[in-house]
Chain A
Amino acid sequence: MNRLQSVVILGATSAIATAVARELAEHGARLFLVARDGERLEPLLQDLRVRGDDASAMRILGTTADLADVDAHADVWAQAQEALGDNIDAVLLAWGALPDQEACNVSVATTLEAIHVNGTSAIAFLAHIAPDFEQRGRGVIAAIGSVAGDRGRQSNYVYGTAKGMLATYLQGLRNRLFFSGVDVVTIKPGFVRTPMTEGFNRAGALWAEPETVARGIVKAMRRGRDVAYLPWIWWGIMTVIRLIPEYLFKRLKL
């Protein structure tokens, strides 16, 4: 079981990350949160300090940064280490933005930007922190991928490409850090009711609440799971979807 007493959460104001932060704060963890929008980060920090009985703001801290800006990563990581000390138990990468596939279809720039925000910028951060974890020889690195990364579909394959790339990178990193005793966890949420998916028809039984997914993430991080589909039913669904032969799959409208 991994300790989760001192955790860095990047992209903390996303609904899933917020739910994870709450779960951890309620268990007394020390947290360092990073988010782009200070107007949303500050109220979240306040919320977590109440939930985590940290009225004096000693344990729950944060900073604003645009994590799509790779040049900011070194500074963000330095601040996190200063805030939590050298014994950071875990890092959760949770930033991203669901691009409009239609807009990507007609714009190379939009496509590349979406791949950067959801894929390359996360890989850059992982590459930056991996040596520190390797050296310390313990801890958990978790990143939020997506079931969309398991197979390219016309409706959101740019997002899927970025998340698929991230998943492959995490596979390699997991393999590399295994020998130093560091767990690398790939989280693959299915449909989650969050502001990111607003506008979808979210009535079906496959839609999960962010709190449910967050509990699964915390559990997967504690146990050092390799890949966690959340809720688990998505493992079955994606296995079936991956097994459909391409000559059939290309004819489907999914």
Chain B
Amino acid sequence: MTTSWNRIPRVAHAAEVSLTRRGQPLPEAAHPLLAHALGRSYGDVCLNPGGTLLHTRDLDRFITFDTDTGRITAEAGLTLDDLLRFAVTRGWFVPVVPGTRFVTLGGAVANDVHGKNHHHAGSFGEHVRALTLRRSNGECLEVTPDGTPDWFAATVGGLGLTGLIETVTLQLIPVRTPWMRAWSQRFDSLDEFWELDARAEREWPYTVAWIDCLNPGPRGEVGRGIYSGARHATTAPARSRYREPRRAIPLDPPVSLVNRVTLRLFNQLYFRQSVHPTARAVHHLPWLFPLDAIRHWNRIYGYKGFYQYQCVLPPHAQKDGMQALLDTVAASGQGSFLAVLKRFGDRAGPGMLSFPRPGATLALDFPDRGNDTEHLFRRLDRIVQEAGGALYPAKDARMSPELFRSGFPRWEEFASFVDPEFSSGFWRRVTK
């Protein structure tokens, strides 16, 4: 059964069709269509219950690459893993990468993904120079930010609903080596986090913080964690061979391995890991994609799956709001393995439904404990909504239509660009 990464919801599709070449006519279907590639988003943004999934994994060909300018055109099913491997050896890098490199160009556009360098480089869509969009009426639109700004704004962050994204032209950034200079430092409270962040963001293009959302800091409030910053290195270290460890969770454990005991223990240990306040050389793979070293890590939650909860709060509400969110999570006792806190830059994403915007974003994951989990989410929703924030569609399986509409006020404008034959579980859920 095709699922998304968190394996909630489990839904049946009427048909699943593999697309193998660009220009291939879309199936004439009685059901709505939706592109699906690696299924690394969470929830139902990449699912289409009762409809047709168009598998785009085989649309993974390079089309052109200009060595001098670093501009690449490829089919939308190309993975960032493939693209990075290609680019790095030629002195180029993908300008924005999310927390996993096992996503495709099309998915990165459709969710207007962001990375640890958002404050520096903005979201993925800002680096897209062109894309082609196949509509169900057979038309193929050439979409560019300047030539067709409305279609561009609808398709970037458009959750794959404006048609099938067939090709993407992306501007890469130059790098000297595959290595980064990175440092990390513990902090005892959110106040310290904001201070650290204000100092680090100007100098370090990549920054991110992990928060221990179970164990309070020395002043009794939740919010201790580890802050890290990095930049691309200009020289490789003397011993510059790197092999990514290949570990995998081989199968589903009968019950979730994530429970109160393991969570508390994991958060303790993670907080106590060695930190490196002075910058040192780290290969880009473990720094940017720590979880990619463990294939199928989603299996630790067992067959039942888990939830992600990622929100953004606007600048005026971010400090109080983040503390309130963390306090609520801590009080519920349903901690999260990896709570990730990141301050976005001052630019909103280029898409009508782009999630990245000025403010700060917090990402949490939770095992599915049924009603308890949903009650917690409702309390978190209230904090987000009162702060004027939004939840990330790419990581959502349960937000209410009201929260979607308040978080994405341009949704009605966007709706006029949705292809009449395309839809998703997410879209039907939040527009009903």
Contacts and interface: CB of A to CB of B under 8 A. Distances in A.
Contact of A195 (B20, B63, B67, B75): B20
- Scoring A43, A198, A205 by chain B CB atoms within 10 A of each residue's CB, the highest score goes to A43
Given A15-B58, A51-B86, A46 B23 contact: no
Interface in B39-69: 58, 61-65, 67
A215 to B, nearest CB: 13
Contacts of B75: 43
B129 interface: no
Q: How large is the interface on B (under 10, 10 to 19, 20 to 34, 35 or more residues)?
A: 10 to 19
Interface string A43-59: 11011001101010000
B22 interface: yes
Contact of B20 (A40, A50, A53): A40
Contacts of A43: 21-22, 61, 63, 75
A222 to B, nearest CB: 21
Contacts of A205: 250-251
A40 B62 CA distance: 13
Contact of B61 (A39, A47, A55, A198): A47
Contacts of B22: 43
A50 B64 contact: yes
A43 B22 CA distance: 9
Interface in A193-215: 195, 198, 205
B286 to A, nearest CB: 22
B332 interface: no
Main secondary structure of the interface of B (DSSP, over half): loop
A198 B18 contact: yes
Contacts of A47: 61-63
A50 B65 contact: yes
- Scoring B18, B21, B61, B63 by chain A CB atoms within 10 A of each residue's CB, the highest score goes to B61
Interface string B386-412: 000000000000000000000000000
A151 B292 CA distance: 39
Contacts of A195: 18, 20, 58
A46 B18 contact: no
A46 B63 contact: yes
Contacts of B250: 205
Interface of B: 18, 20-23, 58, 61-65, 67, 75, 86, 250-251
Interface of A: 15, 39-40, 43-44, 46-47, 50-51, 53, 55, 195, 198, 205
Given A15-B58, A44-B61, 15 more contacts: A39-B21, A40-B20, A43-B61, A43-B75, A46-B63, A46-B64, A47-B61, A47-B62, A50-B62, A50-B86, A51-B62, A51-B86, A55-B67, A195-B18, A198-B18
6 contacts: A39-B21, A43-B22, A47-B62, A50-B64, A53-B67, A205-B251
